[in-house]
Structure 1
Amino acid sequence: MTSASGTGTATGRPAWLLPTLVGYRRRWLGKDVTAGLSAGAVVVPQAMAYATVANLPVEIGLYTCIVPMVVYALLGGSRAMSVSTTSTIATLTATTLVSAGVAAGADDAGDVLGSLAALTLLVGVVLLAARLLRLGSLVENISNATVLGLKIGVGATVAVGQLPKLLGETVNVSGEGFFRGLGAVAQAWDSISGVTVALSIGSILAIVLLKAFAPRVPGALLVVVAGILIVALTSAREAGLELIDPVPSGLPVPQLPDLTHLGALVPGALAIAVMVFMETAAVAKGIRKPTEPMIDSDAELLAASAANLAGGLFGAMPAAGGFSQSAVNQGAGARSQLSALVTVALAVAVALFLGPVLSLLPQATLAAVVFVAVVGLIQIPTLVQWARISPTDFWIASAVAAVGLTAGLLAAVGLGVVLTLVLVLRELNIPRLDGVVRRGGALAVHLGRGLYTANALENERAIVALATTQEEPIDTLVLDVERLDLVTMTVLGALEELDRDLAGHGVELHLARLPDSAVEVAGKVSWYQGMAAAGRVHDSVEDALAAAAGREPT
């Protein structure tokens, strides 16, 4: 229970620490343990697989299951969300490193870890800045069409990037983009390994069939175990089956960031930060039960920032809320972030004791896990459906996807943000004049939304048009501005110009119900002072209409 002061709980714990334990019941502990183990069976192999998407050692995926997840469990407000890396974040990480000129090949993976730490820390810093500026709601306004386009671009790019590992080829196309990846695969067609292809097809079929007919069974974990057993018990390795690099046993240790490529990493960090918060907020709200507290966007920004800052200090990849493992966590009965701490304990056990065993894991097995996960992002049927329902959304999603497949995912995220701002500004730009009341020679108009820089001119034009196109001329226009909580010099300038334009048509402007916060600013401007002195500012619309009626000729 939260204390009356709002700064702590009945147990003496600060309110911001472990918020999901507020009102916790002991009988929930068993469900949290079960849920944490179930989620771990999904998140641990997935995180290792997603590390390979960025062409990083698989233990980096394990570290991302430990440090960021612990920090989110301490600060996050979603009871069932599981925070590690995702296919989108892993792909953007790979693209950012390649674009920055950071080598990401398997032979020099150690050289990239310093730049990875710098990138993850940058993501945390960007998220922290967004929190300080209270931009949570702005990021959440990125349209569904933009998100769909990004998913298609990510899904296709990552799927192509896994083809070499699924086919047993030696070419590396991590972070190279969709068409480059296809071209590289075609050129290396002669290096295909039959045993690798057989394992890849079997792994993909196993995951797909288990998901369709036994969704509670952790298909990714089973194929990982099967892949290790095949290597341990057969001569598949001698037949050409490639394994992942040796996995060292141990926990993550502090990692100093390499600032050599810092400037080149900034654009990617911005894009990753946007996607981290979008995914985290979407998952948190999507899995929230009606009986659970509402998700605070700014609090989630802070939790995501802290998770990435801590992760960067320990060599983890950028982290976000993942839908698949969060859905498993919730479906298994998770009641709080204690379930995430159980998942962390499982990841720690794997990191400490199973390194030699994981070193027997075939590359094709992890590639199959990633391939199945990302193919589900290529939602072409949804795109076709939107073409019939909303052509605007269809073209936005198609444009973002096309840019992602051609110019790269960083450019696609940038385009998505720009399109979102354009759509928001376009919506704000549409005047909403309602509650129109005619009384004698006076016309009262309610301003349906606040005035902003983006819509001030359009509203001014609409109001003048309304006032000058009445069947019977008016001499007074009462503007109900109760929604004008915040005014700027641009807005005040627009109102002053509206006053002049109406006066030019023989119409006198009156303002009604201007909020106190707006009066405090407007009262310092000579134009508004003149309005008030002339009795053209009123506490209510009725007062304004009565004042207008008192001037009408009898």
Structure 2
Amino acid sequence: MRDQPLPHRSFSLPILDWVRHYEKSWVKPDIIAGVTAAAVVLPKAMAYATVAGLPVQVGLYTAFVPMVVYALLGTSRPLSVSTSATLAILTAAALGQVAPGGGAAQLAIATATLTVLVGGILILAALLRFGFVANFISEPVLTGFKGGIAIVIVLDQLPKLIGLHVVKGSFFHNVYALVTGLPHLSTATVAVGLVTIAVLVALEHFYPKSPAPLIAVALGIAGVGLLGLGKYGVSVVGHIPTGLPSLVMPDLALVEALWPAAAGIALMSFTETIASGRAFAQSGEPVPQPNRELLATGLGNAAGALLGAMPAGGGTTQTAVNRLVGAHSQLAELVTAAVTLATMVLLAPLIGLMPHATLAGVVIVYSVGLFKPADFRAILSVRRTEFVWAVVALAGVVLLGTLQGILIAILVSLVALAHQVSDPPIYVLRRKRGTNVFRPVSAQHPDDEEFPGLLLLRPEGRIFFVNASNLGHKIAPLVERARPQVVALDMRAVFDLEYTALKMWTEAEKKFREHGIAVWLVGLNPDVFAVVEKAPLGKALGHERMFLNLEQALAAWHALQDKQNASPGLVR
């Protein structure tokens, strides 16, 4: 389904669409899905808030306001919106630049400024119809980027898992600090962290539909309350304010320093949102519309910023839970938001007993899943070049930092795109015997017909100033080896021929003609034919050397051969 223009549907709220078609049989599964998703979303959101260096209640605010706004404006029915590991680590890097070691008030203002900038960028992108931008980060590069994020997050959380306090720095500094600090770890803290990880892994493996994070967090809180783990050196979250979030205003003085990071976070938020929405859309449901998704997540971030939320976006894990448990509509998200609200109002004091090691265990278990060796192997098994791009993106995140890493990921994607368009393929064609099928020369088809004196070539893609010269360099040795009388270019797969490339081809045709080689063009689409016809190349070839298809070109070749045989002195 094509994305609908924003101006045309500016007064159409997606909530009206799904409410209008809502079925009574969906109520129970939507409620169950919303409650179950909340059991997964809330512990992870609080854990990711700590990854960002923020109080745990910020995770609750992020799972509330953006969730409600998206349910009203978003186009994906199962998508569950809060924060993610990727957004958390990017947020941490951004806040570290403007509020290093800042107090709670300073962090709240910086977070509000960052989040409202993310929302504003997403809204502006929606108005400018930039939804297509999500396609500019290739899958191998995104694989590498997420793998790097996983390594960074795990390394960041390991000190909390074992009860160490280390001064953060570069990747190698952090590794060194962790290794040298091992003799000073807290045995009780390690035990809590390992139990948390064991519970999560066991539940995910044996009972995948269970609210594993909620159970792990409940066990951690119970351990503190019943076993007095605090007296053994296990640190806890501490006081969490009860009630609704307070209004926080952004600081315009921070905009200049934060907007580059906000742009990167906005891109990743949108990429994760649209990927999750598309992955879990079922047959018969509306396909997520990229520009509407930009608008919905943008408004969700902007509204959440004023109420203390950190940058938000769609999450794959929580959306998967939402869908698998039976969500049919955005009502499930509203139920999740209602559970979050109840948690803020009633359960905040209990959450304050949660061990930091428990939160670290939750983060590590679900962040490790971002690094998927199987995806790297799959890329390598198909194309080595894309595997290199994935590794470069991973190394950029790990060694240079997450914000620099996202820039490297984008740069690698653009370089990959430029490389692909600058090096278009060109195939030598032969005909399958007894048919009118022309196909590239292949070792699997050694008996295909060739026609001595006629070289059939098929270029593919857009031919323009970037790749025209490379294409010429590829054609030259083919002509040198074949020494043909006629080079026929099958142009069916060429959808555009740019002026610079056309001029270069005109000069090439002239040189071929001077060496006694004729150039024919075959299968031009109407747009390319119109361009060629108006150019000197069209005048040089004339309609007699431009053919509708390869069959016509081959018939003309046979006719030319017959004439040459009848009149040996015939000059083309």
TM bucket by the smaller chain? 0.7 to 0.9
Q: Report the CA distance shift for 1:212/1:541 in structure 2 as closer, same or farther (over 3 A).
A: closer
CA distance in 1, matches of 2:118, 2:358: 30
Aligned residue number for residue 202 of structure 2: 209
CA distance in 2, matches of 1:300, 1:461: 44
For the pair 1:459 / 2:471, whether they are aligned, the reply is yes
Aligned residue number for residue 99 of structure 2: 102
Moved more, 513-522 or 206-215: 513-522
Aligned residue number for residue 450 of structure 1: 462
Instruction: Assess if the C-alpha contact under 8 Å between 2:463 and 2:498 holds in 1.
Output: no
Amino acid at match of 1:414: L
1:27-53 Cα distance to aligned partner (Å, 9 max, x none): 112111111111111001110110000
Aligned residue number for residue 81 of structure 1: 79
Aligned residues: 540
Instruction: Assess if the C-alpha contact under 8 Å between 1:50 and 1:87 holds in 2.
Output: yes
Amino acid at match of 2:28: G
Please give the residue correspondences for 1:248-287 in structure 2 after superposition, counting only pairs within 5 Å: 248-287=241-280
Moved more, 160-169 or 289-298: 289-298
Q: Normalised by the size of structure 1, how large is the TM-score? A: 0.83
Q: 2:134 aligns with which of 133, 139, 153?
A: 139
Amino acid at match of 1:80: P
Segments of structure 2 that go 5 or more residues without pairing to the other structure are 431-437, 439-449, 568-572
Aligned residue number for residue 540 of structure 1: 548
The alpha-carbon deviation at position 112 of structure 1 amounts to 2.0
CA distance in 2, matches of 1:130, 1:5: 13
Q: 2:153 aligns with which of 142, 153, 158?
A: 158
The alpha-carbon deviation at position 157 of structure 1 amounts to 1.5
CA distance in 2, matches of 1:255, 1:319: 17
Aligned residue number for residue 396 of structure 1: 389
Instruction: Assess if the C-alpha contact under 8 Å between 2:115 and 2:309 holds in 1.
Output: yes
1:132-158 Cα distance to aligned partner (Å, 9 max, x none): 565544533533332332233222221
Aligned residue number for residue 425 of structure 2: 431
Moved more, 396-405 or 291-300: 291-300
CA distance in 2, matches of 1:497, 1:299: 48
State percent identity of aligned pairs: 34
Q: Report the CA distance shift for 1:241/1:442 in structure 2 as closer, same or farther (over 3 A).
A: closer
Instruction: Assess if the C-alpha contact under 8 Å between 1:464 and 1:501 holds in 2.
Output: no
1:295-336 Cα distance to aligned partner (Å, 9 max, x none): 444443443333333333433222222121111111101112
Aligned residue number for residue 36 of structure 1: 34
Amino acid at match of 2:172: F
Please give the residue correspondences for 1:543-554 in structure 2 after superposition, counting only pairs within 5 Å: 545=553
Amino acid at match of 1:89: L
Please give the residue correspondences for 1:51-450 in structure 2 after superposition, counting only pairs within 5 Å: 51-98=49-96, 100-103=97-100, 105=101, 108-128=103-123, 130-131=125-126, 135-171=130-166, 173=168, 176-186=169-179, 188-189=181-182, 192-380=185-373, 383=376, 390-428=383-421, 429-433=423-427, 446-450=458-462
Q: Report the CA distance shift for 1:5/1:101 in structure 2 as closer, same or farther (over 3 A).
A: closer
SS at match of 2:390: helix
Instruction: Assess if the C-alpha contact under 8 Å between 2:89 and 2:149 holds in 1.
Output: yes
- Structure ID, larger Rg: 2
1:81-134 Cα distance to aligned partner (Å, 9 max, x none): 211111111111112222x2422x4x6132022222232233334444554565
Instruction: Assess if the C-alpha contact under 8 Å between 2:166 and 2:178 holds in 1.
Output: yes
Instruction: Assess if the C-alpha contact under 8 Å between 1:18 and 1:76 holds in 2.
Output: no
1:224-277 Cα distance to aligned partner (Å, 9 max, x none): 222233333443334433222422223345432223343332332333233223
CA distance in 1, matches of 2:104, 2:507: 62
CA distance in 2, matches of 1:505, 1:282: 54
Aligned residue number for residue 480 of structure 1: 491
1:457-497 Cα distance to aligned partner (Å, 9 max, x none): 223444555556545412x7455357425x55444444444
Q: Report the CA distance shift for 1:548/1:82 in structure 2 as closer, same or farther (over 3 A).
A: same
CA distance in 1, matches of 2:424, 2:527: 24
Instruction: Assess if the C-alpha contact under 8 Å between 1:71 and 1:307 holds in 2.
Output: yes
SS at match of 2:252: coil
Moved more, 256-265 or 464-473: 464-473
CA distance in 2, matches of 1:520, 1:265: 49
Q: Report the CA distance shift for 1:164/1:491 in structure 2 as closer, same or farther (over 3 A).
A: same
Please report the RMSD computed on the Cα atoms of aligned residues, expressed in angstroms. 3.8
Instruction: Assess if the C-alpha contact under 8 Å between 2:64 and 2:337 holds in 1.
Output: yes
Segments of structure 1 that go 5 or more residues without pairing to the other structure are none
The alpha-carbon deviation at position 454 of structure 1 amounts to 3.7
CA distance in 1, matches of 2:264, 2:270: 10
